[in-house]
Amino acid sequence: MTSASDAVERYRGAEYRRLLRAARRGLENNGGSLDATVSVEVQGEAERNAIIGITGRYRDPSVKRIRVTLRDLDAVVRAGTELSLAGLLEAIDGRPLANHPAEAARALATRREALRPAEESPLHESAEWFRTWLGAVSRNGTVGRLVARPETVGVLAQAVRVLEFLEDRPEGGVPVTLAGLAAEVTDDPKALNHRTTLSTLVLRALAIRAGVPLPGTAEERRALWDRYEVVVDDLASRILVLNLPAEGEGLGEWLTGAARFGTPFQVTLHQLNTFPLDLRVPVVHVCENPAVLRRAAAELGPGCPPLICTEGRPSTAFHRLAAIAVRDGARLRYHGDFDWPGVDMAGAVVRRHGAEPWRMTAADYLAGLAGDGKAGNGKPRNAEAGGGEVGGGEAGDDEERVRLSGRPVPTPWDPGLADAMSEHGSAVYEEAVADPLLADLRMQILGG
């Protein structure tokens, strides 16, 4: 008498192998239902006879593909082995049958649950950049990869909370450290460190919000965090100053000493956070490019009026120092590049600190364009900074000008400026119009 185990061993034969593989695929794909049919393209007489023995129907050798219902196969297996078809397959393969429909349903439910905090966030309703980011991470497989691993399934919700936290912070509030932000949202101060999944998600969203490429270097990452007053390194966040005497121990003494000699001085956010400072100057001029400050130091020396340089996009250190100056009664006058990022930065400083635009009118732009529109007298810009390519030719040739790129930005202090820039389509960089800026500083020395 043949035992059940002997019968199971019989089904391990090569003549049954492809039929049982097809049966496993069928059961796994339909959730274990026997109401399905599988087919096998017969290869060899032994396989043909085995399948005929299961179905009980003779098939002519000319029939190359034989179909078998899973219910018939289950009945034959039960009669010979006392096992169900599913039990036989698990015994032969040494692993349980998968249930792909149930797995897909669970994965879909997990995905929906992972996306729910983002879709229910107020940012989803109010912020186009947030919807763009969420659409991108949904389409490119990021969400699928997150929900596939238990340790990352909640990271998207954490990213949403970080973005909501940054959105809700008042402009000009106290800067937050990267570790402090991470601890506030996740209870893990290292959760936003470079290369963490959470950091990558949040930086991608902030880059979309700012309209810049995803940062690729440590400096670019610091700059992007700095836009939202998240301090990665309070030593790296700094501002260049010239002739800004101050009161206070430490930093105030250093600034006063540097001003006495007309020496440019780098101030870090760490210093501003460490040493209380008071400023007693009526006007502080602000420029974007260090070339302007360098000329002022060389040509005007200790007599130059107080001048600070953002060295590009204003950092948290700049905003801290500007707030101190305004608090102490100083009037800020801001000048920057005549390109879309430049006027965007100017507008932000005007809104945040009540600064006055300094030679940032349409007339100033057109004078700079007419005086020398050559790219060679400006600084080449990469794509992130919003510049164009530099060409060659004669002075004044349109091909030599750096073409404006990026999204136009309104200039509410002089709407004609944005109109003129759009019409001419060329950038004028600050160092190319430094002469009238230095003339203003000279006039202030003379009391004009």
Tell me phi and psi for residue 240, to 5 degrees.
Answer: -95, 130
398-427 residue pLDDT tens: 446 799 988 899 999 999 999 999 999 999
Q: Residue 353: which of 322, 318, 330, 328 has the closest Cα?
A: 322
Q: For position 57, what pLDDT does the model report? A: 76
Q: For position 172, what pLDDT does the model report? A: 60
Calpha distance 192→156 (Å, rounded): 13
291-317 residue pLDDT tens: 999 999 999 999 999 999 999 989 989
Q: For position 3, what pLDDT does the model report? A: 59
Q: Are 355 and 314 in contact (CB under 8 A)?
A: no
Secondary structure of the chain in HEC code, one letter for each residue: CCCHHHHHHHCCCHHHHHHHHHHHHHHHHCCCCCCCEEEEECCCHHHHHHHHHHHCCCCCCCCCEEEEEHHHHHHHHHHHHCCCHHHHHHHHHCCCCCCHHHHHHHHHHHHHHHHHHHHCCHHHHHCHHHHHHHHHHHHCCHHHHHHCCCCCCCHHHHHHHHHHHHHHCCCCCCCEEHHHHHHHHHCCCCCCCCCCHHHHHHHHHHHHHHCCCCCCCHHHHHHHHHHCCEECCCCCCEEEEECCCEECCCHHHHHHHHHHHCCCEEEEHHHHHHCCCEECCCEEEEECCHHHHHHHHHHHHHHCCCEEECCCCCCHHHHHHHHHHHHCCCEEEECCCECHHHHHHHHHHHHHHCCEECCCCHHHHHHHHHHCCCHHHCCCCCCCCCCCCCCCCCCCCHHHCCECCCCCCCCCCCHHHHHHHHHHCECECHHHHHHHHHHHHHHHHCCC
Q: For position 391, what pLDDT does the model report? A: 34
Q: Largest Cα–Cα distance in the chain?
A: 119
Q: For position 396, what pLDDT does the model report? A: 43
Q: For position 377, what pLDDT does the model report? A: 39
Tens digits of pLDDT across the chain (448 residues): 455 677 788 888 888 899 999 999 999 999 999 999 998 888 888 888 888 878 777 777 777 888 889 998 999 999 888 899 999 999 999 999 999 998 888 878 888 888 999 999 999 999 999 999 999 999 988 988 888 888 888 999 999 999 999 998 876 667 889 999 999 999 999 999 999 999 999 999 999 998 889 999 888 898 899 888 898 988 888 999 999 999 999 999 999 999 999 999 999 999 998 999 999 999 999 999 999 999 999 999 999 999 999 999 899 899 999 999 999 999 999 999 999 999 999 999 999 999 999 999 999 999 999 984 343 334 443 333 333 333 333 334 444 679 998 889 999 999 999 999 999 999 999 999 999 999 999 999 887 5
Q: Are 315 and 239 in contact (CB under 8 A)?
A: yes
Indicate the domain borders of the chain.
4-98, 106-231, 238-445
Query: Is the overall model pTM greater than 0.85, yes or no?
Result: no
What class is the 238-445 domain? alpha beta
